[in-house]
Structure 1
Amino acid sequence: MEKHIPQSVTPEPMPQPEPQKSRGRMPHIYVLLFLISGMSALLTYVIPAGSFERIPGPNGRETIDPDSFTQIDGSPLSFMDFMVAIPRGMSDASEIIFFTFIIGGMFMVLRRTEIIEIGVDRLARKFKHNSVLMVPVLLTLFAAVATTIGTPELSLVYIPVLIPLFISLGYDSMTATAIALVSTALGFTAGIMNPGTVGISQQIAGLDTYSGFGLRLLVFVVIVTIGSLYIMRYAAKVKTRPKESLTYTEDKPKRLMYKDALNQPMKPIHSRQMAAIATLPVFFAILIYGVTQLGWFMLEMSGLFIFMGIVVGLIAGLSLTKICEAFTEGFREVLMGAIIIGIARSVAIVLEDGQIMDSIVYGLGIAVGQLPSTLSAIGMMVVQLLINFFIPSGSGQALVTMPIMAPLSDILGVTRQTAILAFQFGDGFAHVLFPTSGYFMAALVVAGVSWNKWVRFFLPLFLIYMAVGMAFLIYAQSVGWTG
C-alpha cells in the first residue's frame, strides 16, 4: 500500500538529542520490576513470617480468618528461590499473559480486514469539528461498563481502536491511552455494581449486596467529571501545540499513517466488510453476558476473542493463512507486555514464598488501629493503597483485607460501608499507577507508551483523586454512612 505524503507538508526536523535529560532517565521497566522483586526477597530476611488460616469465602472464593494470625518459622528466600520467581510468575499469571497475546492477535486480524480503519475514518469525520467532546462521552461509556461488570482489563480492547482514531483527529497516543485506562479504573473504583470488589466486600462485611448505591453513584459522577476535564485539558494542549505531547516522538510513525486521513477521500466499504462489522456487536453482547451471567474471566474471554478473530476474518474475506499470519504478528507486538505481566507477578510470588504477605497485611491493619478515630477511614485508604502494590487484584485484595478491615472498623467507630469505600479508593486508582499491575503494564505496551511518561501524565490526576477520596471518606465518617 503506497503512503500518501502531501506536497504541502514540510518534513519534520529530526528531534535533537537531549543528553541532559538522559542522565535522569528512569531504568527500563524490566530493571525496575526486577529491583522491586529483589527488594521483596530481602524483606523476607527482615519481616517475621506469619500466616492467616484460609476459610471458604463468598462465591466459593477462599478468604482469611482475621483472628487466626500466627507467627511461624521464617523461610527467607534462597538465591535459587529468587532465580525461579520470574518463571513462576509467568506460569502463575498465564491467563492474563495468554489474554494479552490473544488481544494483540485478534486486533491484528481486525486491522488486516481494514474494518478498524473504516470505523475510525467515519468516526473521525463525524466528530471532526467537535472532537474533544469524544473524551467525556467515551470516558463515561467505558467507566459505566467497568463499574457494572468489573473488568478494567477491557482497556486492552479499547486502546488499539482509540489510538488511530485520536491521532487522526490531531491528538496523541497518550490521550487515547488515558481514555481507556482512566475510564476503566474510575468505573472499577466507583464500583456501583462491581462484583469483584464491592460485591465480595459487602458479602464479607455482612452488608446487603450493592447497598450504598446513592453515594457510590455520586462518587462515579464526580471522578468521571474530573477525569474528563483533566484529559480534555491535555488533549486541547496537544491539539494546538503538538510538540508538547508526551508521546510526540513515539507517535511520529502513527501520525504519518493516520493524521492526514481526513484530507483523503472516504474509505470505501465492501459488502463482506459490512457483514464483518455487523458481527462485532454480537460478539460484544456475548462477552457482556458471559462476564455478568456466567462468571467469565480471562480464559473464557480469550477463547471468545480467538473465535471472534477467526469468524470476522473469514467473513471479511481473509484466508485462514492470512488470519494465522495476522495472529502471529499481533502476538509479536504485545510480547513485551506479556513478559512484564510475568515479571510483575514475581513480586507477589516472592512475598508469598517468604511467608510475609500475611505479615504485611496484619501489620498494616494494626497500624490503622493506632490512628485517631477522625483519621481512621483515611488510614484505611492509605493501607489499602500500600497493599495494592503487592496484591494488584481487586478481588484478591478484598478477600485478604476485608476480613480484617470490616471488624476493625467496628472497633474504630467507622461504618463497614465506609471501610469498603476506603478499600475502593485505595485499591482502584492505583491499578493504573503501580508497575505491579499486570494488565495495566500490558496496556501501556500495546499503546506504545512508556511507564515513565504515563506517570508524568497521570500522577497529578492520581493525587487529585486521593484528595477527592479523602473528602468522601471524611463525609461518610461524619454522617455515619451505612448505605
Structure 2
Amino acid sequence: MQGEKEKKQKFQMPHIYVILFLFSAIAAIATYFVPAGEYERVPGPEGRTTIDANSYTEIEQTPVGVVDFITVIPRGLIDAGEVVFFTFIIGGMFMVLRRTGIIEIAVDKLARKFAHNSIMLIPVLTTVFAVIATLIGTPELSLVYIPVIMPLMIALGYDSIVAAAIALCGTVVGFAAGVLNPINTGLGQKIAGVPVFSGIGFRLVIFVVAVSAAVFFIMRYAKKIKKNPLNSFVYEDDHEKRDLYQHGSQVQIEEKTTTTRQKYAILATFIFFGILVYGVLAQGWFMVEMSGLFIITGIVVGLIAGLNTTEISEGFNQGFRDVLVGAFIVGVARAVAVVMEQGHIMDTVVHSLGSVVADFPPMLGAVGMYIVQLLINFLIPSGSGQALVTMPIMAPLSDLIGVTRQTSVLAFQLGDGFAHILYPTSGYFMAALVIAGVPYQKWIRFFFPLFLIFASISIISLIVAQLIQWTG
C-alpha cells in the first residue's frame, strides 16, 4: 500500500497541451505588465520584410483580454497552417506507401544487410540527414525520415527514441552548422552584410564535431537498448511497434520478395524524391510545394504498386488520423507567439535582450549573443523568422562591442538551431515526436544531456571565433 501511495505522489510531467496552454497564459498576463513596443518593418533580402534596428519605439499598451485569449489557439492553428497540413499530408503519404509494401521491403533488406552490425546504421543515417539539412536547410524533413526508419530501428532491436534521434539530431545539426544552408546562414549573412556562404571552413569544422557528438551519444544509448530492452525510456510506449516490426531477435527467416509493380513503385518513389531535392534547392520550394508533391507521390506510387483509388484514399485517411495529435500540437505551440505579437511585446523582448548584450565585455560578446538568440528561439522557432527579427539588431550591435559580423551570424545560427528540438514551441519538432510516438518529457530526458554538449560546442566555437576575430 505504501509503495502504491509513493507511486501516486511521484511527480508527473504535465501533458504537452497543459504546458503550452500555460506558456500562452503567462504570455497573455505579461502583455499587461511588459511595455508594448515595435520596430518599423522595412523591405529586406529576397523580398522578405525585416526591421529597422534603430526604429524601436514604445507604443500604447495593448493587453490581450479574455475574449482575445480564448481565440489564440484557433489563430495559432491558422498561422501554423502550412506546418499543420504538411504534417497531415506526410502522415497520409507514408501510410499509402506502407500499404504498397515497399517500406516493409526496404526495411527487410536493410535489416538483413546490417543484421550483424546494425549499430553502423546510426552514423550512416545521421550523417546523411545532416548533410542534406546543411545543404538545403529543411530540418522539417525529419518528419519525412521518421516513418521510414522507424520500422527498421524497431526490427533491429532499438526503440522509437533511436529512430527519432537519428532524424531529429541529424537534421538539426546540419541546419545549425549551416555549411551551405540558405535558410539561416545565407539569409543571416545577407542581412548582416557579410558575403553569402563565406567562412565555410570554420562552419564545416563545427559540422563535423557536432555530428560526431550526436552519433556517439545516440550509439551509446542504442547499445544500452540492444543489450537490455528494459533500458529504453519508451519501453512500454513501444509495445505495439515491437509486435508489429520485430519477429524474435533475428530478422525474418523468409526474405520479402518484390513484385514487378513494386519495383516500378520504388523507382517512382526515388524519382519523386529527386524532384523534391531539385525543387527545394533550385526552385525555392517549401512546405506548400512539398505537400503538393507528397500528395501526387502517394497517388502515383500507390497506383503503380497496384492499389485502387479507394485503398489510396483510405490510406491517406488512416495516415491523417495517426498524426492528428501532432498536427494539433503545432497550432497550440504557435499560440504563444500569437499572444506576444497581438500584445505587441515580442519586439520589446527582442529589444531588451539586445540591449543586455551591449553591456557584455568584448570577450563574452559573442557568447552573450548566442544566449540571447537561444532565448528568443523559444518565442520565434522559425530560423528565417528569427533572422529577420534579430539580425538587423545584432549585426550593428556586433560592431559596437567588437564582435565580427561573421561571428554574430554564427551566434544566431547556433542559438537558433539546436534548440529546435528542445523547445515545445517548435511546431515541426512536436509533430515529429508524435509521429515517432515519443512523449515530450521522455525525449527531454534523453536529449537534454546532448543539448548541453551542443551548447558547449557552440560556446567554444564562438569563443574561438572571437579570439581569432573571424571574418571568413
- TM class, shorter-length: over 0.9
SS of the residue 1:263 aligns to? coil
Q: Which residue of 2 aligns with 1:340?
A: 329
Matched, 1:219 2:167: no
Q: Which residue of 1 aligns with 2:159?
A: 172
Mapped to 2, the partners of 1:286 and 1:214 lie a distance apart of 29
SS of the residue 2:251 aligns to? helix
SS of the residue 1:218 aligns to? helix
Mapped to 1, the partners of 2:158 and 2:465 lie a distance apart of 39
Q: Which residue of 2 aligns with 1:479?
A: 468
Q: Which residue of 2 aligns with 1:90?
A: 77
Q: Which residue of 2 aligns with 1:137?
A: 124
SS of the residue 2:254 aligns to? coil
Q: Which residue of 1 aligns with 2:226?
A: 239
Mapped to 2, the partners of 1:459 and 1:218 lie a distance apart of 23
Q: How does 1:152-171 map to 2 (within 5 A)?
A: 152-171=139-158
Q: String of CA shifts for 1:275-318, please: whole Å, max 9, x gaps.
A: 10011111111101111111111100000000000000000000
Mapped to 2, the partners of 1:178 and 1:145 lie a distance apart of 16
SS of the residue 1:170 aligns to? coil
The number of equivalent residue pairs is: 468
Q: String of CA shifts for 1:358-401, please: whole Å, max 9, x gaps.
A: 00000000011111111111110000000000000000000000
Matched, 1:263 2:252: yes
Q: String of CA shifts for 1:25-80, please: whole Å, max 9, x gaps.
A: 11110111000000000110111000000000111100000000000001000101
SS of the residue 1:63 aligns to? strand
SS of the residue 2:60 aligns to? coil
Q: Which residue of 2 aligns with 1:4?
A: none
Matched, 1:113 2:112: no
Unaligned runs of 5+ in 2: none
Cα deviation for residue 18 of structure 1 reads 9.5
Cα deviation for residue 264 of structure 1 reads 2.8
* Amino acid aligned to 2:253: Q
Q: How does 1:46-445 map to 2 (within 5 A)?
A: 46-260=33-247, 262-445=251-434
Cα deviation for residue 263 of structure 1 reads 3.2
Mapped to 1, the partners of 2:22 and 2:229 lie a distance apart of 35
Mapped to 1, the partners of 2:5 and 2:211 lie a distance apart of 36
Mapped to 1, the partners of 2:135 and 2:184 lie a distance apart of 11
Q: String of CA shifts for 1:123-150, please: whole Å, max 9, x gaps.
A: 0000111110111111110000000000
Mapped to 2, the partners of 1:357 and 1:20 lie a distance apart of 41
Mapped to 1, the partners of 2:253 and 2:293 lie a distance apart of 35
SS of the residue 1:382 aligns to? helix
Change (3 A) 1:278 1:368: same
With normalisation by structure 2, the TM-score equals 0.98
Q: Which residue of 2 aligns with 1:449?
A: 438
Q: Which residue of 2 aligns with 1:7?
A: none
Mapped to 1, the partners of 2:188 and 2:158 lie a distance apart of 39
Mapped to 2, the partners of 1:180 and 1:364 lie a distance apart of 32
My pick for the range that moved more, 97-106 or 371-380, is: 371-380
SS of the residue 2:311 aligns to? helix
Change (3 A) 1:78 1:235: same
Mapped to 2, the partners of 1:386 and 1:297 lie a distance apart of 26
With normalisation by structure 1, the TM-score equals 0.96
Mapped to 1, the partners of 2:378 and 2:356 lie a distance apart of 17
My pick for the range that moved more, 141-150 or 256-265, is: 256-265
SS of the residue 1:55 aligns to? strand
Cα deviation for residue 23 of structure 1 reads 2.9
Mapped to 1, the partners of 2:6 and 2:94 lie a distance apart of 37
My pick for the range that moved more, 351-360 or 266-275, is: 266-275
* Amino acid aligned to 2:221: Y
Q: String of CA shifts for 1:335-354, please: whole Å, max 9, x gaps.
A: 00010000000100000000
Percent sequence identity over aligned pairs: 60
Q: Which residue of 2 aligns with 1:35?
A: 22
Q: Which residue of 2 aligns with 1:9?
A: none
Cα deviation for residue 236 of structure 1 reads 0.4
Q: String of CA shifts for 1:156-192, please: whole Å, max 9, x gaps.
A: 0000111110111111111010000000000000001
Mapped to 2, the partners of 1:409 and 1:327 lie a distance apart of 50
Mapped to 2, the partners of 1:234 and 1:242 lie a distance apart of 11
* Amino acid aligned to 1:268: T
Unaligned runs of 5+ in 1: 1-15
Mapped to 1, the partners of 2:6 and 2:224 lie a distance apart of 26
* Amino acid aligned to 1:354: G
Mapped to 2, the partners of 1:18 and 1:266 lie a distance apart of 50
Cα deviation for residue 22 of structure 1 reads 6.6
* Amino acid aligned to 1:317: G
Q: String of CA shifts for 1:258-278, please: whole Å, max 9, x gaps.
A: 121713301121110111001
SS of the residue 2:42 aligns to? strand
Cα deviation for residue 17 of structure 1 reads 8.1
Cα deviation for residue 20 of structure 1 reads 2.1
